[in-house]
Structure 1
Amino acid sequence: MEHKILLQVVGFILMLAGIILTYNPEKVSSKPIPEDTFLAIERRVRWGFLIGLGILLMFHHQIKPYLFTVAALGMTLTLGALISRLAGIALDGSSQRQWMWVVVELVMIIGFGLWYANQRT
Structure 2
Amino acid sequence: MNSTGPFFRGPASAGQEEEGPLSFLASPTPSSATDLHLPPHEYCSNGTVTKKKKKKTEMQKKKRQETDRRYRQKKKKAVQDTEEKLAIAIAENGRLKAAVEKLRRENAYFKKQRFATIYAEFSDCLLNDPITTNI
Scaled by the length of structure 2, the TM-score of the pair is: 0.22
Q: Which has the larger radius of gyration?
A: 2
Higher RCO, 1 vs 2 (CA within 8 Å, ≥6 residues apart): 1
More helix by share: 1
- State the TM-score, normalizing by the size of structure 1: 0.24
